[in-house]
Chain A
């Protein structure tokens, strides 16, 4: 099928969306007319009422479709005056891609790039264009890789091959947004209904009655009935235009490869997949590690700290693994992108264009614009940004919630120490509560005192009594005898380990040391790491025949004031 034929088909398909709405409204109106003619008064009012209620979602479907706009991602717009290198790069790439340059460039905090265009008249007329660039992409990609990503996005604006097929893409985006809006509304509805039913169930339980089974799926049945034709049509539409969507992605990839070089484009896709995982890891383990206790890294480091992880020697192997092992295909039928693995394969199958990984031709002629090198350690695309630190700080202002912005800023080592300390404290809490439940714990006792009590109990063969008070899964609660012990052992082991670490932190001045290459390690003031020693000493203490001597030996000499008694022979079980 030719491009214009495909575009025409897309237009017809798009029109079908409205046709469905008209048909459905027509049916409702016909019902009303019939009721006016033949039904008695009360029934007539009923039919009127029903048809109005049912018409609402239909009208909304039409309305939503014509007004549906992608939610604008939060971000920091950068001006041409402020970031001339970045703008020059984008303009030059737009020129080579054969499309109009965007009107705005917005930096975001996620591993993503995208373009939007505020089109008018159902997507038939062009409008202002915006390019979104995730700061992590700038951090993690080389300049040539970033070129490939930007070129791919710009290609969506108007691939010279697929300019007319753009209608299909716009239609797709519109349909997707409509489906998304419907789904969000329905989820809201179901959530609301569930909340109501849960409250009722709670009430019932309080009054000692058996609660009714919560079934929120029945909520909004009428709404779903009316929305169903739209969703069915959307599924049909997406299937019908799926190949178009996929082809446009692949065409954009091909154009990107032509502009930025084959190898750079393929490696950009691999790198982005790896970066996605690395960024998630960085966010959860480092940047937001302290949010539970109201701590954030220094200003600019929330997004700016990623490069520390990416350049850490201990992470290189797993990053390389992520690049080689592309994520499996997305199962969602709504995904417009072909699986990354397929895209990479297709790009890598293109003929060699004689350009190296950094996008340069072998004869040394640069393809990128001649800009003064700002010199960044990684060869990272961050080199395109001026005032990196200020930009990263401003990005936090634009992206973080007010609550997050109000958090205390501390440097990385302090952040990691305090957040791991807090987490360890939280993790040790169940064991201390269990100890309290046996009545052997002095209230408000420190970790060291609790540890001492636990070791005495272990020597007396009573550790499993404490374990019995630990929180249990239903399966663990059902188990008896040795199986019950095996259920409890991991929690007991972990709890005792955490308690020992806490005791060392509280009483021997040990600190958790930040590492970009691996998890934080517990260091004594003299610099020796004790994590493994603690683990090795705790293991025999929770064995079937407990041996607390190694743990006592480990902890005793480290404490300024040895209060832990040694193992006393007459305390051993007879």
Chain B
């Protein structure tokens, strides 16, 4: 009895000592410019001031900045669909301003695609994110009803869109997923998208989840899709993130430590680092890629490289993997601090 208490006390003491030694003080971190959890923005993955301003305006019922941002994006289709996603998220909460927008500019292609995309978001909110067996009949029926309505909205958005604009089609992937579209239907949609934008990141990322075994594909189909894109796209399009996305969604939860240092994952991470380095700085998904890389590099104990990525995204943590956790800012800071401490220990040893 007494012996066991002593054992517990000693190990607790050792653990505390180790923790204190490796932990970095808050002041130290702050001095180096790292932000504490409460100052991390959990809505955005980078300092997207245009998006922040337009969301604030939408909160006041002013749709003009949103419309202007879409126009300004021009034929940067990655940017356009990112903006449509941001605006539609707001429209899924309250759509009074959207009706005003449509009334003021009947036939506006931006408003049309936002309306359709927002309906899909509402449908997913009705459904909830549980497995099918945990979804009630009311949720499932509401989900399907709203998705069916969204179908018409997408048809309208596609007819209004500029000929080269893939956005109405990209946004439809989530709809097809929800309606359990056949592989044939999905491939038809995919042809529409790639004809307009062959290396659209959001399209690839969403389509990959359609091919997941838990949705309508299989491990084989998903991996084939991810690797084909990763191998064939020129660097800078972030397609090498797709195999990592699959890995993270299927293997991260139960991965033992050694899995992170496997040759496979190391190769995938290295390829993604090259891709990220070649990417144009204003790509709307670049920051998202850095977040994922920072996490995986930290897990691989490549601390110095992880810190490099953390340095470029600190302050804006609305991205995966952090957003998968309820206390996302805390989890981000925890991982970041581990990487900083690890990098410091490594350089100290040197």
Residues of chain A having any CB pair with chain B under 8 Å: 473, 475-476, 479-483, 486-487, 490, 544-545
Beta-carbon contact of A486 and B95 below 8 Å: no
Taking a contact as CB atoms under 8 Å apart, the answer to whether A475 and B128 are in contact is: yes
Nearest CB in chain B: distance from A67 CB, A? 44
- Complex contacts, B92 vs chain A, CB 8 Å: 481-483
List of A residues within 8 angstroms of B145 by Cβ? 486, 490
Question: Number of A-B pairs whose CB atoms are under 8 Å?
Answer: 40
The residue from B93, B99, B126, B128 contacting A486, defined by CB atoms under 8 A apart? B126
With contacts A544-B95, A545-B99 known, is A482 near B138, CB below 8 A? no
Chain B, 116-159, contact with A by CB distance < 8 Å: what is the 0/1 string?
Answer: 00100011011010000000101101100110000000000000
Task: Tell whether, in the assembled complex, residue B136 and residue A486 are in contact, meaning their CB atoms are under 8 Å apart.
Answer: no
Q: What is the bound-complex CA distance between A487 and B125, given in angstroms? A: 10
Q: Give CA–CA (A486, B118) in the complex, Å.
A: 13
The 5 closest A-B pairs by CB, nearest first: A483-B125, A481-B93, A482-B122, A486-B126, A483-B126
Q: Which of A475, A480, A487, A544 has the most CB of B within 10 A?
A: A475
**Contacts A475-B128, A481-B92 hold; do A486 and B139 have CB atoms under 8 A apart?**
no
A486 touching B138 by the CB < 8 A rule?
A: no
B94 at the interface (CB under 8 A from A): yes
B138 contacts A483, C-beta separation under 8 Å: no
Do B99 and A475 touch (CB < 8 A)? Answer: no
Q: Are A475 and B136 in contact (CB under 8 A)?
A: yes
Instruction: Tell me the minimal C-beta distance from B218 to chain A in angstroms.
Output: 27
> Quick check: A482 and B94 within 8 Å, CB to CB?
yes
Of residues 141 to 182 in B, which have CB atoms within 8 Å of A's CB atoms? Answer: 141-142, 145-146
Q: Which residues of A contact B93 (CB under 8 A)?
A: 480-482
B94 near A490 with CB under 8 A, answer no
| Contacting residues, chain B, for A476 (C-beta < 8 A) | 138
Q: What's the tally of chain B residues with a CB closer than 8 Å to chain A?
A: 18
In the assembly, what is the distance between CA of A313 and CA of B122, in Å? 43
Please report whether the interface of chain A is mostly helix, strand, loop or mixed according to DSSP: helix
Would you mind naming 20 contact pairs between A and B with Cβ atoms under 8 Å apart?
Answer: A473-B136, A473-B138, A475-B138, A479-B126, A481-B92, A481-B93, A481-B94, A482-B92, A482-B94, A482-B95, A486-B122, A486-B123, A486-B142, A486-B145, A487-B126, A487-B142, A490-B142, A490-B145, A544-B99, A545-B99
13 extra interface residue pairs, beta carbon distance < 8 Å, beyond A483-B125, A490-B145? A475-B138, A476-B138, A481-B94, A482-B92, A486-B122, A486-B126, A486-B142, A486-B145, A487-B126, A487-B142, A490-B141, A544-B95, A544-B99
A473 to B141, CA, bound (A): 14
**B residues less than 8 Å from A473 (CB atoms):** 136, 138
Cβ 8 A contact of B146, one of A479, A481, A486? A486
Q: Are B99 and A483 in contact (CB under 8 A)?
A: no
Give Cα A332 to B76, complex, Å: 61
**Complex Cα gap A479–B118 (Å):** 16
* Complex contact A475–B122 (CB within 8 A): no
Q: Is the CB of A479 within 8 A of B125?
A: yes
Contact B139 A475 (CB under 8 A): yes
- Chain A residues with Cβ below 8 Å from B128 are 475
Task: Specify which chain A residues have a CB less than 8 angstroms from the CB of B122 in the assembled complex.
Answer: 482-483, 486
Q: Which residues of B contact A480 (CB under 8 A)?
A: 93
Closest to B149 in A: A486
Mark interface residues in B172-203 (1 if CB within 8 Å of A CB, else 0). 00000000000000000000000000000000
Question: Residues of A contacting B142 with CB < 8 Å?
Answer: 486-487, 490
Tell me, in angstroms, the Cα distance from A479 to B123 when the chains sit together. Answer: 12
Contacts of A483 in B (CB 8 A): 92, 122, 125-126
- Kindly list chain B residues whose C-beta atoms are within 8 Å of the C-beta of A479: 125-126
Please, how many angstroms separate the alpha-carbon atoms of A481 and B125 in the complex? 10
